Amino acid sequence: MATRWADAGEAYLETTDHSAALVELAGDDVIVRAVNRPLARLLGRARDEFVDQPGSRFYPPAELADVVAWVRDALTTEEPVGYEAVRELAQGRLVVVGRVIPLDGRRCLIVGSDISRQRAAEERLARLEALADIGLWAWNVVDEEVEWSDHYRRIHGLPREATPSVAAALEVIHPDDRARMTRIIAEVAGRGRTGPVRYRVVGADGEVRHMEGRAEVVRDAAGDIIRVVGTVQDVTEQQALEERERRVQEASRRQAHAMELNDDIVQELSRAWLALELEDVAAAREAIEATTRRVQNIVSGLLDATALAAGEVGPGALVRQRPAGGEPRPPAEPPTTPTAVRPRHGEPERAP
C-alpha cells in the first residue's frame, strides 16, 4: 500500500501543472526526493539539483521549521495540511499556497500554487483604497452574495469577522437614512440606478460619518441585472465644508437683506420725525412701530450670522458680553414709563 501511494505521488509530479515536491521526514529536516519542472522553474534551479538533498540546503531556517512542522502534522494525522509560504527572492516576493499530502509513514507530497501576482495586486489595490479613502463592494443579486474590501469595512466600522450582506451593511447606516437607502438599493437592483448617493453611518463609538456611494450594474445577455459593483468614499470633511459654505451664503444673503432694511429704517425714522414736527402723533407712532419691526428682523439676522462663528446666540446675549478688562454688562432694563415725545420749541414735554 505504501509503495503504491509513493508511486502515485511520483506520477503526480510528472502530470500536474502545480509546483510539487516529494519529501521525506528526517528528524528536524526533510529530504527532497524529487521535484517537478514547475517547481524547479519557479525556484530557478535544475530538477536534479534537488534529488536526495536535505531541505536545509534550499530553505532558510525559519521556513525549514515550518515545512518540517507541516510534514510532521500530515504524517501524524494522516490528513492533508494546508499552508501558505512567503519567500523573498531576487526577482521579488514569492507567495505559495498549497497542501501537504501524506503518502505513507515517511513521505509526503507538497503541492503549491504561485499566487504572487494575485497577492501583489491585492496589496496594490489596498494601498490605492487607503490613499483615495475609497472602499469597494460587490453584490451578486442572483444568489445574494456580497463582498466588501478591507477599506470598506474600515470606513464603515465593520469588524473583519462580520459576514458581508445587504442587511449587515444597512445595520450601520444612520437610522434616519436607513429607509431611504433600503429604497435606493431596491432601485439599483430593479432599475439599475447608478447615481451618487450620500448617507451617514454610525460607528461603535457613536461617531457619525458621511459617505458617498456610486454603483454600476452588470447585465446578462438578456439584459437582466445580475451583479452590482460600487465604491464608497468617506466625505465627512467635504460635507462639513459644504455645510459651512451654505451657512455662510445664507448669512451673506441675510446681511444684504439687513442692509436693505437699514435703508427702509432711515426712511421710516425720517417720516416719524417729520410727523412729530407736524404734530401728527398717529403717523409718528405708525412709523416708529414699522421701524421697530424692521429692527427686530435685523437683530435676528445678526444673531444668525454671529452663530456661525460663536455658536448659538440668544436674544440679549450681545449686550451681556464682558467688556475688555471689566465685569459683564447687565442686560438693559426695559422702560417702565412711556418715552416722552420731544417737544417743539417753547412747548412742554408730553407723552405720546
For residue 138, the domain's CATH number is 3.30.450.20
181-207 per-position pLDDT tens digit: 999 999 998 888 777 999 999 988 899
Verify that 167 and 216 share a domain, yes or no.
yes
Which positions ≥6 away from 156 have C-beta within 8 Å?
A: 135, 169, 172, 201, 211, 232
Which residue, of 114, 149, 166, is where some domain finishes?
114
State the pLDDT confidence band at 9, using cuts at 50, 70 and 90.
low
Q: Is 351 a residue whose pLDDT tops 60?
A: no
Average pLDDT, the chain: 79
Verify that 147 and 73 share a domain, yes or no.
no
Verify that 229 and 213 share a domain, yes or no.
yes
Q: How confident is the model at residue 320, as a pLDDT?
A: 43
Is residue 120 a contact partner of residue 144, using CB atoms and an 8 Å limit?
A: no
Give the residue from 33, 74, 75 showing the smallest Cα distance to 54.
33
User: Looking at the domain assignment, is residue 40 inside a domain?
Assistant: yes
Q: Coil, strand, or helix at residue 319?
A: helix
Q: How confident is the model at residue 148, as a pLDDT?
A: 93
Out of 20-34, 206-220, 261-275, 322-336, pick the least confident. 322-336
Provide the number of structural domains found in the chain. 3
Is residue 97 a contact partner of residue 115, using CB atoms and an 8 Å limit?
A: yes
Which residue, of 91, 114, 137, is where some domain finishes?
114
Amino acid at 130: A
Q: How confident is the model at residue 324, as a pLDDT?
A: 46
237-259 per-position pLDDT tens digit: 888 888 888 887 887 777 776 66
Verify that 92 and 134 share a domain, yes or no.
no
Verify that 190 and 247 share a domain, yes or no.
no
User: Looking at the domain assignment, is residue 178 inside a domain?
Assistant: yes
Expressed as residue numbers, the domain containing 289 is 239-320
pLDDT mean over 75-104: 86
Q: Computed from CA positions of residues 253, 254, 258, 264, in that sequence, does the dihedral angle turn out positive or negative?
A: positive
Verify that 109 and 128 share a domain, yes or no.
no
Is residue 25 a contact partner of residue 68, using CB atoms and an 8 Å limit?
A: yes
Verify that 165 and 70 share a domain, yes or no.
no
Verify that 199 and 150 share a domain, yes or no.
yes
User: What is the share, in percent, of the chain residues with pLDDT greater than 70?
Assistant: 70
Verify that 228 and 243 share a domain, yes or no.
no
DSSP codes joined into one string, 59-119: S-HHHHHHHHHHHHHHHHHTS-EEEEEEEEETTEEEEEEEEEEE-SSSEEEEEEEE-HHHH
Q: Is 77 a residue whose pLDDT tops 90?
A: yes
Verify that 107 and 163 share a domain, yes or no.
no
Q: Can you give the pTM of this predicted structure?
A: 0.45
Q: Computed from CA positions of residues 116, 117, 119, 120, in that sequence, does the dihedral angle turn out positive or negative?
A: positive
